[in-house]
Structure 1
Amino acid sequence: MTIKHTAYATVDASNPEIDLENWLFGLSDDEYQACARGHHGAGTFTDEKGRGMVNTESVGGNLIIQHYRVVRAEKSFVEMYSAASRIFLFHLVPVTGAVRWTLTTTPKSTTSSTFACSVEVILPPVLAVLARTIVLGLFIRRHCEEETPNFAADIMRKHRKVQISA
């Protein structure tokens, strides 16, 4: 079973000025936590397999721990994939699922861009009924809708800081 939601926000910067790859891998734990109530922590790393990110969040009363690896990372497109995320249903029952997190920017005008944040949770078929019962899709949608404008605001804050420094 796959549950996916994409949320959108406007960033007041032209698309070539935004660098999602640098933004994501420069995101501090505090900045990540400030973007959604359910965000508990995040950190990036580099090892022999490349770059990755670990984050922990609560979505709809379920604790999710993701061990993301970069699938693709560019200025206007970042795709992260966690093949074996640990999901603790109701913070108690551990299950394994996969999570794909995709961030994109596309030109909206000469001075603004559309930022998109997609979260896709892939659960084993046996968990499909349970996921529907606890309305996991609704909670993923709410979480995405909360974090996306806050991610966009953080991107803009950092963009302005760079402009002032230049």
Structure 2
Amino acid sequence: MEVLAECTAKAMIHCAAEKINITDWLFTLRDQEYQSCSVSHIAGGSSISQDGKKMSINVERIADNLLIQHYIEEIGEKNHCRVNSMSDSFSALGRTKLGITWELKVRRLTANSCEFTNKVVVRSTKEFLESLKSVNITDIEVVKIQMLQNVAEHNAEETPLFAADIHNKVLRGKWE
């Protein structure tokens, strides 16, 4: 699968990194909490995959693309979480699939501050490339430019709001 867009956004959280469990945060994020972190977020929840792994299910609209994501845990550490989804994508192209990796990290900066990193990588699928071909889009570079812009705008909006949600949970003693 070819990388269509890769974007990283960062935000400061004013608390000790040791007080955060980023994997627990992702898999216990409530629907309303997810929705409040972006105007593009429609619904969020969690489940278990068929092979027993944790799954974060998200529905969001980025640009004119409705995405239904079933993120399955790949890395589930206290300060590092990476999940992968073969996401359903609904757009003017019709229904297709995109491979999306979502990676979250917390890195200690000082005793009372840390950096939250939110990285998204979008990959093509055979179905997606066929969808482009069906509407005579042959220049994948144009698609990549637009997709990166859309993902970057979305990531820039949600990252500080995710960080604020994490910080509020630390203040409430969620991971003590």
Please give the TM-score of this superposition, normalised by the length of structure 2: 0.85
Partner of 1:131: 143
More moved, 123-132 vs 143-152 = 123-132
Aligned counterparts of 1:7 and 1:101: Cα–Cα separation in 2: 12
Percent sequence identity is 29
Query: Which of these residues, 136, 157, 175, is aligned with residue 146 of structure 1?
Result: 157
Partner of 1:100: 101
Count of residues paired in the alignment: 162
Partner of 1:66: 69
Aligned counterparts of 1:22 and 1:41: Cα–Cα separation in 2: 18
Aligned counterparts of 1:118 and 1:111: Cα–Cα separation in 2: 23
Partner of 2:32: 30
Correspondence 1:36-47 to 2 at 5 A: 36-47=38-49
More moved, 146-155 vs 52-61 = 52-61
Aligned counterparts of 2:103 and 2:61: Cα–Cα separation in 1: 19
- Asked whether the equivalents of residues 26 and 56 of structure 2 are also in contact (C-alpha less than 8 Å), the reply is no
Q: Which runs of 5+ in 2 are unaligned?
A: 133-139
Aligned counterparts of 2:48 and 2:65: Cα–Cα separation in 1: 28
Aligned counterparts of 2:173 and 2:18: Cα–Cα separation in 1: 14
Q: Which amino acid aligns with 2:73?
A: V
Question: Is 1:122 equivalent to 2:133 in the alignment?
Answer: no
Aligned counterparts of 2:141 and 2:81: Cα–Cα separation in 1: 31
Aligned counterparts of 1:159 and 1:87: Cα–Cα separation in 2: 34
Please give the TM-score of this superposition, normalised by the length of structure 1: 0.90
Question: Is 1:162 equivalent to 2:162 in the alignment?
Answer: no
Query: Which of these residues, 3, 15, 30, is aligned with residue 17 of structure 2?
Result: 15
Shift of 1:108: 1.2
Aligned counterparts of 1:14 and 1:158: Cα–Cα separation in 2: 13
Q: Which runs of 5+ in 1 are unaligned?
A: none
Q: Which amino acid aligns with 1:152?
A: A
Partner of 1:54: 57
